[in-house]
Every structure is written in C-alpha cells, then in structure tokens.
Amino acid sequence: MELAYDQIDDLCRGAAFLGAGGGGDPYIGGLMIKRALQEGGKVEIIDPDDLDDDVLVIPTAMMGAPTVLIEKLPSGDEVLRAFAELEKHLDRKAFATMPIEVGGINSTIPMWVAARLGIPVIDADGMGRAFPEIHMETFGVHGVSGSPLAIANEHGDYAIVNAVKNQSLEWIARGIAIRFGGAAYIAEYPMSGEQVKRTSVKHTLTLAMEIGRRVELARQSGQDPFAAIIDFLPETHYSLGKILFTGKVVDVKRTTERGFTVGRVTIDGVDQGSLMIEFQNENLIARKNGQVLAIVPNIITIMDVETAEPITTEFLRYGQRVRVMAVSVPEIMTSPAALDLFGPQGFGLKEPFQPMIAD
C-alpha cells in the first residue's frame, strides 16, 4: 500500500499507543512525513511476507532520550547519512528500510528514509512496541546481529560500530549518542529478507494506522474510543486490551540520565487509591497500591481521558486527567529467550513477568 497524507495522523496516534509511552514525540515524526509527501515523495509499505529471501534490509531509528527531542529537533539529514554510510560500509545497496520499534517517532523515521530515497518500508518491526535499548529486539532473540551499526548527528559526524554482542553494541552506541547531544540517528541490524520474515513482529505499521483510525472514528461519532480499541484488539495478534486505572496525575519525577528518560508518575483515582508507573523511556510496570497490574513486555499506555490521545513519558504533567490501558503482546515477545532480554529482569525489576488475563 502507499501511505496517504490523511493516514499520517492515524499512524502517529496508533504508534504512540503501541509505543508504551516511548519512541519519541510522534508529532515531530508526523510533520517529517507530511513534509516529504508535500515535496513529492511517497511511502510504499510492503508486507514482510512478500520479501525475497536474499534482499538487504536496513532498519533506521532515533536513539537517545525522548526528552532531548523537545529542544533538539531532527533535520532529517542525520538518519540519511547513517543509512548511506552503512550501505557504503557494507558495499551494498539496501532494498528497503523498516522500523526497529513501533512507537512514536521511530515508526516514522523509516518512512522519512523511504520517501527520501525512493525505497519501500516494511510493515514490521523488531520490538512490537518500544523498548529503550537497541539489543532489546526480536531480531537479536533469533540470532541477528545488530552490527555493523552507523550512527550520525546533525553536524555531519558519524561512526560505524562493530560489536561482538548486541548488548555491547548498545553500550558503545549509547555512549556515542550521549556525546552527540543525547539523541542521534542510526541504521543497524542489516539483514536479509529471510531474516526479516523469521524474526520480526509483523504488520505493526498497518496495525498502528488502524488503531489510530478507529480512535478518530469513535470520537467523530460520539462513541467511546477506549472501547473501540478494546473491541478491535482481539482481531489482532495483540489479542487483549483493558483499562487499568482512571485518575489525575499528581506527581511526575523525571530525569535524563545515561541517555534515557527515567522516572515515575503517580496517578490518583476517585475511590481507587493510587497507581504508580515506572518508566525508562517507556512505561515498564504499573502498581496499584503496591500490587502489580501490568508489567513489561506487555504494553502500558497513558492516555488523555477525554480524547484517548496517548501521552508519551516526556509530556506527562501534573493535573492531566488520564486513563491507563494495558495491552498483551504477540507470542514472539514472550518466549523465555525474549523475556531474558526485555522482560522485567532486563530492567532490574524484581517482579516476574505476568501474562495478561481478561477480567
């Protein structure tokens, strides 16, 4: 399919919902795609199952703390340089790009690359949501190396990183991103079409668009947008969504450290006690009066109670009236190997993973 201009807002809304509070400001990414289409570019989205096994695919993304994007907007040239330098290093042209995660700006950065370079973007990603660290990929769970990685900034500086392990790649690239001002743009996990089909979370871009579309249709018709999402998810490989809590944000503690946006938000409910959510770029765990209601890798999303617009962690503020939803993730994300990388212990949480169950 070819992305239409009037689908961009739906995509950004749905990507922010699936991004669990992270992935960077979707509004910025939406503006980038709109600009690309206005200037004659096009975004062709292709099904991963239609890929030839031997084509080269290079995913692209922003790396860093989402809070930095508020003041350090991308020009768009950074990720194009990273992509070009990785192609040069590999001595091979890529057939397509794709997201490393479905969330915020990182669902749209590959579309910007696709529109500018005239290549397709693949309807899949490597996280099925957003995670803060680049080794937390289903690609890596199934043996794909993130190296070599190219990383670039707005000044034309770039580096090529090779690492034996994907965890080492994260550590080295994070240090470069910090020295690039806290946010940089990357091309990584170069892989074959066969590897994309075997290791990715499929059809997440079109899923994001459909979630965003259903929210907007519900609002226009005076229906409940939260119910629209909950009713739709059983038709997908995300299968279950439910409302955890409704209340007012009464406290936000947020810092930028180690290249991440880290903190917690407290939400008070009416006769419901309080809900506390911890985040590292993305929401990781929700506890109501100390009891765990949802935990990573399942998705925890904070949304405006009136509009159902997702609120990313860098935009949480005192006084916001919010509703918190949780969404179960596809099976590929809950295998023992996957949980070792991006389950609770991957973030230093003491609580074990708890699969979501219907009320």
pLDDT tens track, the chain, 359 positions: 999 999 999 999 999 999 999 988 888 999 999 999 999 999 999 999 999 999 999 999 999 988 888 888 889 999 999 999 999 999 999 999 999 999 889 999 999 999 999 999 999 999 999 999 999 999 999 999 999 999 999 999 999 999 999 999 999 999 999 999 999 999 999 999 999 999 999 999 999 999 999 999 999 999 999 999 999 999 999 999 999 999 999 999 999 888 889 999 999 997 779 999 999 999 999 999 889 999 999 999 999 999 999 999 999 999 999 999 999 999 999 999 999 999 999 999 999 999 988 87
SS3 content of the chain, % helix, strand, coil (to 5): 35, 25, 35
Q: What is the pLDDT of residues 50-96, one digit of tens each?
A: 999 999 999 999 999 888 888 888 899 999 999 999 999 999 999 99
Is there a cis peptide before residue 110, judged by omega within 30 degrees of 0? no
Which residues lie closer than 8 Å to 310 by C-beta, 6 or more apart? 13, 16, 17, 19, 21, 26, 301, 302, 303
- Residue entry with tokens 């949304």: 303
Would you tell me how many other CB atoms lie within 10 Å of the CB of residue 289?
A: 10
Domains of the chain, earliest start first: 5-202 (3.40.1610.10), 226-347 (2.40.390.10)
For residues 298 and 300, what is the distance between their CA atoms, to the nearest angstrom?
A: 7
Strand bridging mode 149-152 / 158-161: antiparallel
Strand bridging mode 260-268 / 274-280: antiparallel
Q: Where on the phi/psi map is residue 259: left (φ > 0), alpha (ψ -120 to 50), or beta?
A: left
Q: How confident is the model at residue 315, as a pLDDT?
A: 93
Helices marked H in 276-353 — which ranges? Answer: 336-342
Closest Cα to residue 18, out of 103, 96, 95, 93? 103
Q: How confident is the model at residue 4, as a pLDDT?
A: 96
Q: How confident is the model at residue 272, as a pLDDT?
A: 77
For residues 303 and 211, what is the distance between their CA atoms, to the nearest angstrom?
A: 14
Q: How confident is the model at residue 325, as a pLDDT?
A: 97
Q: How confident is the model at residue 348, as a pLDDT?
A: 94
Residue 147's Cα: distance from chain center in Å? 20
Closest Cα to residue 22, out of 136, 99, 104? 104
Residue 263's Cα: distance from chain center in Å? 18
Would you tell me how many other CB atoms lie within 10 Å of the CB of residue 186?
A: 29
Locate 132 and state its tokens.
Answer: 């803060």
For residues 273 and 211, what is the distance between their CA atoms, to the nearest angstrom?
A: 30
Q: Where on the phi/psi map is residue 337: left (φ > 0), alpha (ψ -120 to 50), or beta?
A: alpha
- Residue entry with tokens 């100390």: 290
Strand bridging mode 149-152 / 183-187: antiparallel
For residues 201 and 127, what is the distance between their CA atoms, to the nearest angstrom?
A: 7
Which residues lie closer than 8 Å to 286 by C-beta, 6 or more apart? 244, 245, 275, 276, 277, 292, 293, 294, 295, 300, 324, 326
Q: How confident is the model at residue 103, as a pLDDT?
A: 87
Q: How confident is the model at residue 226, as a pLDDT?
A: 97
Cα of first residue to Cα of last residue in the chain, in angstroms, is: 37
Strand bridging mode 158-161 / 56-57: unpaired
Considering the entire predicted model, what is its pTM?
A: 0.94
